[in-house]
Structure 1
Amino acid sequence: MLDVVIVMGIFVVLLVLAGQMLKQKENAKAYHQEIKELKEMISQADRKKEERFESWIQASSEEMYRIMGEHYLGLSQKVYAEWEENLSTMKAQVKNFVNERQIEHDRWVQRISDEDLSTQQKLEMLETAMNQFPESRELHEAYDQTLQPYLKDSSKEIRMRTARKLNQASRTLLDYCSIDEWDYAVKRYNENLRTGNLLMKSHVEEKLASERKKLDQLESAVTRLSREPDNQSLIDEIETIEGSLDQKTIERDPVLLKRLREITGDIVGHFTRGNENEEHQVKDYNKRAITSFREASVTFRNNEKTFKGGSGLVSLTEKMGGWDMNVLHPEVQAYYQAVYQEIFGKLDPEVKPKFTERMLNTQDKVV
């Protein structure tokens, strides 16, 4: 590398000197052209004067070239001497820099090889050293050897992080390596890239297997729920499994995605059917309540005198009491209030507490 610098420097100096000589040559041509023009002007003059003029021109030209020769010879020798001196200084500085950098590099290598260092400390020092010497094959090889065991770690997160570190380091070496290390850097980069791709593929397959297992569990729970529609523990289990599903992973696999949609459809269908049954039961409950309230009203009107005195109240309370007001529709509740007020308002004062007590003790009517 230094030899190339020296040759380039000499070439630059020669170009400068050649340029200056060319310029002076052009000036000399212009000078002779002026003389030629003067000669033509005096061509008709006295021949003796012309001869004297010719002699003067000859002497002047010789003196001019002598001065120019001495000037350029001295100039070139001086410039070359100064350039040689500067080049020697530069060479010494470059050698010192190279030596100091190599010494610093070797100190890092020696320190990193210390057996007292933990693996984590060694990795941290290697990363620092590689930042300073990104072209060092020795440091990169040590980094690879230190990280290799982590590619087989039980934790997939650690395996993936290790692969990313190796890929990044091999890319750095590829960017900074010398031409002599190019083939090695390319090979190392491709190997780490291939390792990373294999780990990624394995990681995806593991995630797919995990989601496949969850779907098996979900499908089993939904099947059991169809046989036990009111089993709250099964409903809770289904909600838990659904919450643990990795939607992004499932969406990568068309088969799993189709299966999830089918299971989800079964779940929605189950609860929809359950709601329909519940609505039907509530509606039937309200119908029974209306019928019972109407019968109580008719019975009371037909036997008002008997009930006013407190006799036969049980036939009324069985029809009016025990209904769940939270289940009754607002319209049915209004009808209940109307019938109740009609009956309660016409009872004798001493009968009203007895009627109220019987209402409270009436067995609850369930949906």
Structure 2
Amino acid sequence: MEYITVTLVVVGLVCIGILFVKVNNHLMKANQYVAALQEQHNQQLEAEIESLSKFYEQRFKEQLASITSTYTNDLEKKLDKLDLTIKQSLHSYLTQEQYEMHQWIELINNESNHAQAIQQVESALNKFPGSSELIELYTKRITPYLESSEQPIQKLALERYNRATRVFLDNCQPSMWKRAKQLHNEALELGNRYMKSKVQQFEIQAEQIISVLETITSAKSLSPKQLERVEKLDNRLQKDLLKNFKGLHARYNKVTQRLFSHLSPSIDQKAVNEYNLNAIQQFKSAQELFTQQESSFKQGIDLARLSNLLGCWDQTYLTPPTQLYFQNVYSDIFAKLNPEVKPEMTKLMLKTTKKTVYA
């Protein structure tokens, strides 16, 4: 009995196993079928999405093209209108410019006063700096003054003509550049000739004055009238320019030394040299002192110390090199003082007692 029972149990388990395998096979087939259906559905869905995407993309392109075309046409119309407006405005502006230019030229041509006409042309050139008509009118009007016998007038005319031709050169049309360059070069040449003439005139005048001074100071003694004449002649010399002419400058220094001997016969050259050396040392001390206490001196504190070092020397006995050194030191110090301090420094310099050569 037990044997039969066990047998039945085994047979039952085998049947169940066989059934489980068949069920599992059916499930696997069902899953494969579902997966195949899902894949097919996904493919159909992707195809539909792609189709819709292409459809809407095409619709979007068509609508965008339509909108772009509409805006392009509107924009072209607006640009054409704007271009026409600009052309009309530009034409109006150019017409107005031509009208103003014509008015200026008529005004200048009708002006009989050359000086007045020059001012008119300069005003016109400020408005139309590249006008060839105006610069030619300017050249015509100012030419008589460029060779004027009155040097101040000639100098001013040359300066104004040089400036006008430079401005025209900077603003002219390309077709007028050669002419503009020619005018400016001519203006420069006239200026150079004027400066050479001035230098020659100065050299001739300085030669004449120094020759007379040499003659006067060569005498054994000088009368008050001769001393007065020496002073007048000396004041006519431009000392700053004279330094550029070594020969004349050396002769002038000798004249100055002779004059010292006439003004103070008892003073010999050795004493004068010693006086100058002491002065130079004091000027150097003044500059060093100012550098050390610049902030105080700039505010006007203890200016008497500076004025004593700088102002106690008689310029009559100082040689030109010493005078030049004094001027450099004093100018440097004076320029750095506060504006309200400068008058006080000037007063102290004037009031300072001068040292004598034998002090």
| TM interval, short-chain normalised | 0.5 to 0.7
Which of 109, 115, 131 lines up with 1:113 in the alignment? 109
2:204 aligned with 1:212? no
Q: Take 2:39 and 2:126, find their aligned partners in 1: how far apart are those partners?
A: 81
The root-mean-square deviation of aligned C-alpha atoms, in Å, is: 2.0
Task: Summarize the Cα distance change of 1:43–1:262 in structure 2 as closer, same or farther, 3 Å threshold.
Answer: farther
Summarize the Cα distance change of 1:270–1:67 in structure 2 as closer, same or farther, 3 Å threshold: same
Question: What's the offset of the Cα at 1:53?
Answer: 3.8
Indicate which of 204, 210, 234 corresponds to 1:242.
Answer: 234
Which stretch shows the higher mean deviation, 174-183 or 58-67? Answer: 58-67
Amino acid corresponding to residue 261 of structure 1 in structure 2: N
Partners of 2:222 and 2:262 within 8 A in 1: no
Q: Quote the offset at 1:48 in angstroms.
A: 4.5
Gaps of at least 5 residues in structure 1 are 1-41, 277-367
Deviation per residue, 1:18-67 (Å, 9 max, x gap): xxxxxxxxxxxxxxxxxxxxxxxx96525544544444333323212211
Q: Is the 8 A contact 2:242 2:248 kept in 1?
A: yes
The answer for the alignment partner of 2:245 in structure 1 is 253
Give the distance between the partners of 2:165 and 2:186, measured in 1 at CA: 9
Q: In the alignment, which residue of structure 2 is the partner of 1:309?
A: none
Structure 2 partner of 1:201: 196
* Structure 1 residue 72: Cα displacement: 1.2
Alpha-carbon distance in structure 1 between the residues aligned to 2:46 and 2:226: 131
The answer as to whether partners of 1:156 and 1:203 remain within 8 angstroms in 2 is no
The runs of 5 or more residues in structure 2 that have no matched partner are 1-37, 269-359
Structure 1 equivalent of residue 87 of structure 2: 91
Equivalent-residue separation in structure 2 for 1:176 and 1:95 (angstroms)? 21
Residue identity in the other structure for 1:77 = N
- Describe the shift of the 1:59–1:110 C-alpha distance in structure 2 as closer, same or farther (beyond 3 A): same
Q: Which deviates more, 59-68 or 98-107?
A: 59-68
Choose the corresponding residue for 1:177, options 153, 172, 179: 172
Q: Distance in 1 between matches of 2:53 and 2:39?
A: 15
C-alpha deviations, 1:230-285, integer Å up to 9, x for none? 63322222222223222122111111100101111122223443568xxxxxxxxx
> Can you list the C-alpha shifts for 1:172-227, whole angstroms capped at 9, x where unaligned?
1011112221221112111111110111111111112111111111111112x31x
Amino acid at match of 1:76: T
Conserved 8 A contact 1:208-1:249: no
Q: Which residue of 2 aligns with 1:104?
A: 100
Report the Cα distance in structure 2 between the residues aligned to 1:72 and 1:92, rounded to whole angstroms.
Answer: 29
**8 A Cα contact 1:250 1:256, kept in partner:** yes
Structure 1 residue 137: deviation in Å? 1.0
Asked whether 1:124 is paired with 2:119, we answer: yes
**For residue 273 of structure 1, what is the aligned residue in structure 2?**
265
- Secondary structure of the 2:265 match is helix
Contact 1:134 1:176 in 2 (8 A): yes
Distance 1:67 1:272, change over 3 A: same
User: Identity percentage over the alignment?
Assistant: 22
> In structure 1, what is the Cα distance between the partners aligned to 2:49 and 2:223?
133
Partner AA of 2:173 in structure 1: S
